Amino acid sequence: MNTMDISYSTGLPTRISNMTKHLFRPFQFLLAALTMLCCFAAQAQTQPDYPLGAGDSIRIQVFQNPDLTVETRVSENGAITYPLIGTVALGGLSIATAEKKIADALQNGGFIKKPQVNIVLVQIRGNQIAVLGQVARPGRFPLETTNTRLSDMLAMAGGATPIGDDVAIVSGTRNGQPFRKQINIASIFLTDKEQDNIVLQGGDSIYVDKAPVFYIYGEAQRPGAYRIERNMTVMQALALGGGLTPRGTDRRMRIDRSAPDGSVQHIEPKLTDTIQPNDVIYVKESLF
């Protein structure tokens, strides 16, 4: 074998190996791309469908019916107006459920036999929560995840102010129906009521009112209005007002309490009685 034959025989496997690498390189990229697409598809399946809320802009299309293509906005009460079927409540529904609801209405009304409805979310505005009342930073906050709970949103708003109530009122829509619930914030953490820490939806509003107060006047060291603490007694209320003056007595106190019919009841309380909102404690002067 001459020198040319040796060079040819040793160089041929190298060239074949290089050609093989070049041939398989596109398949490697294709395999990586398919793997990434599978990951994205699996991730999309694990994410819950977006619930439509007030303020969301959507585009509704019906296959082979271009005249029914409508771009509209979900109203504050969670409804839209659509041709042929009129008002449709979509607030709180997932996009897939909303598509089926419109398709059923078109079919049941005899307008289209088998409608194929597609809803495209054009602009998201309903995924915000309004936090109002006695919180540190009232305003509108984005609903960044689908499992945001009441405690998370109150934390974003800075929590309740010192004069804020322990009760939060959550209102919105659920399954197209008005929703309203009063929740004791403290009980979420102090007692086994984790179910009250509800998951919020876009368009919900949270309102924290002022805490209930009582009033004390007469022979008290510091007369005025004070916040009612949990299960506060008359004795604790007197202590919060600085106690009695040297001329005051706890034997002749009076509580003026508003009745449900608007009348005022005059009560001679015991020191262990519980204070109620808007009670007025009058500490009388001792006779001796």
Q: pLDDT: is 132 or 252 the higher one?
A: 132
E-assigned strand segments in 15-102: 57-62, 70-73, 79-82, 86-89
pLDDT at 4 over 50: no
179 DSSP β-pair partners? 172
State whether residue 167 is helix, strand or coil.
strand
Pick from 283, 252, 162: which is nearest to 213 by CA?
Answer: 162
Q: Which of 85-94, 133-142, 143-152, 208-217 has the lowest mean pLDDT?
A: 143-152
Pick from 245, 247, 242, 251: which is nearest to 270 by CA?
Answer: 251
Pick from 164, 159, 268, 264: which is nearest to 213 by CA?
Answer: 164
Give the C-alpha separation, 223 to 64, whole Å: 76
Pick from 55, 122, 109, 64: which is nearest to 82 by CA?
Answer: 109
Q: Which domains does the chain have, with CATH numbers?
A: 57-123 (3.30.1950.10), 129-210 (3.10.560.10), 213-283 (3.10.560.10)
The alpha-carbon radius of gyration of the chain (Å, integer) is: 34
Q: Could you tell me what percent of the chain has a pLDDT over 70?
A: 81
Angle at 96 between CA 200 and CA 129, to 5 degrees: 20
Across the chain, mean pLDDT equals 83
pLDDT at 42: 37
Taking residues 164-169, what's their average pLDDT? 94
Give the C-alpha separation, 78 to 91, whole Å: 4
Q: What is the pLDDT of residues 187-236, one digit of tens each?
A: 888 877 778 899 998 889 999 999 999 999 999 999 999 999 888 999 99
State whether residue 87 is helix, strand or coil.
strand
Q: What is the pLDDT of residues 87-113, one digit of tens each?
A: 999 988 889 999 999 999 999 999 999
pLDDT at 131: 96
Give the C-alpha separation, 264 to 266, whole Å: 7
Taking residues 270-284, what's their average pLDDT? 94
pLDDT at 70 over 50: yes
